[in-house]
Amino acid sequence: MGPVNARRDSASKADVRLERKLRYKFARLKAKGQLRSLYRNQYAKPVAGQTTTVSTVQTVSGHSVLTSEPYTLTPIGGKRVGVQADPQRAAQNVNGVTGNLVEGKPLHVELQVLLLVEQQKGVGVSVQAHEDLVSELTPLRESFAHVQTALDQSVAERKQLWEILDQVQQSREQLSTELAQLREQMNRLGSIYSVDKRLRKVEYNLPRLNGQMELLKKMHLTRTTSLLQAQAPSCFREKDHDIA
C-alpha cells in the first residue's frame, strides 16, 4: 500500500503542477490573442467524409484526462452520425496520459485539456445563466400577466365610465330641456300672478271707489238742486211769499 499511496501523492502533485502550468499558458495565449486562432485551428469544421478524431475528457483515478475517439462525417450537411470508438486506442491514450501525470512529464495535449475544461466551464456557465434567465423571466411573465390583466380591467372600467358619461350627458340635455320648459311656465305663472295681484288691488280699492262715486253723485244732485232753485222765476217765489 505504501508505493500505491506514494504514487497517488506524486500523481496529485503532478496534477497540481500541470494545472498551474496549463493555466499559465492559457493566460499567456489569452493575453497574446492567440487563443482564438488556436481554437479555430483545433476545432475547425472538417470536410464531409473525412475521418478525424474527437477529444473527450474522462476521469481516471480521480484525474481528468483527454482521450481521442475517431469518427467519420457524413457527406450530407457535414453532420456527425456516430462515433466509431477504438477501445484499445482509448485505453492506450488513458494509460499514456495517466503515466505522464504520475511521472509529472509535460503532455502534448495539455493545452487541449485546458481548452476543453474551459469550454465545459463556459457551457456550464451558459446553462446556469440560461436557468437564471428563465427563473427571472418567470416572475417577469407573471408580473406582465398581472399588468395585462390590470390594463384590461382599466380599459373595461374606462369604457364603463364613458358609457356612464354619455348617460349623464343625455340626462343633462333632458334636464336642460325640462328647465327651459319650467322657466317658460314660471314666466307664465309670474304674469298670471301679477295680473291676480292687480285684480286684488282693484278689489281692495273698489269699495272706496264706490263710496267716492256715491259721494260724487250726492254732491252732483245737491249742486243741481241749488242751481234749479237759483234759476226759478221770481213770480213763483212771490206767490210762495204771499201764500206764506
C-alpha 7/C-alpha 12 separation (Å) is: 9
Query: Model confidence over 74-128: pLDDT tens digits?
Result: 444 444 444 444 445 544 444 444 444 444 444 445 555 555 655 555 545 456 6
pLDDT of 221: 79
Query: Model confidence over 158-192: pLDDT tens digits?
Result: 898 899 988 888 888 888 888 888 888 878 777 77
Q: Where are the domains of the chain?
A: 2-72+87-108
Query: Model confidence over 207-223: pLDDT tens digits?
Result: 888 888 888 888 877 77
Q: What is the mean pLDDT of the chain?
A: 66
Higher-pLDDT residue of 136 and 35 is 136
Question: pTM for this structure?
Answer: 0.27
Contacts by residues 62-66 (CB-CB < 8 Å, ≥ 24 positions apart): 63/11, 63/15, 63/98, 63/101, 64/113, 64/117, 65/93, 65/94, 65/97, 65/98, 65/101, 65/113, 66/93, 66/97, 66/109, 66/112, 66/113, 66/116
Identify which of 71, 73, 72 has the alpha carbon closest to the alpha carbon of residue 86. 71
Q: Provide the angle, in degrees to the nearest 10, between the axes of the packed helices 110-231 and 2-32.
A: 60
- What's phi and psi for 51, nearest 5 deg? -90, 125
Q: Which 8-state DSSP code applies to residue 85? A: -
Q: Is residue 72 exposed (0-12), middle (13-18) or buried (19+ Cβ within 10 Å)?
A: middle
Higher-pLDDT residue of 18 and 228 is 18
Higher-pLDDT residue of 141 and 69 is 141
Average pLDDT rounded to a whole number, residues 1-29: 68
pLDDT of 107: 45
C-alpha 125/C-alpha 132 separation (Å) is: 10
Maximum mean pLDDT: which of 79-83, 111-115, 135-139, 224-228: 135-139
Counting DSSP H helices and E strands in the chain, the numbers are 5, 2
Average pLDDT rounded to a whole number, residues 138-148: 85
pLDDT of 37: 55
Higher-pLDDT residue of 237 and 130 is 130
Query: Model confidence over 8-19: pLDDT tens digits?
Result: 566 577 777 777
Distances (CA, A) of 13 to 24, 63, 80, 94, 108: 17, 11, 38, 19, 19
Q: Is residue 142 exposed (0-12), middle (13-18) or buried (19+ Cβ within 10 Å)?
A: exposed
Say whether pLDDT at 244 is over 60.
no
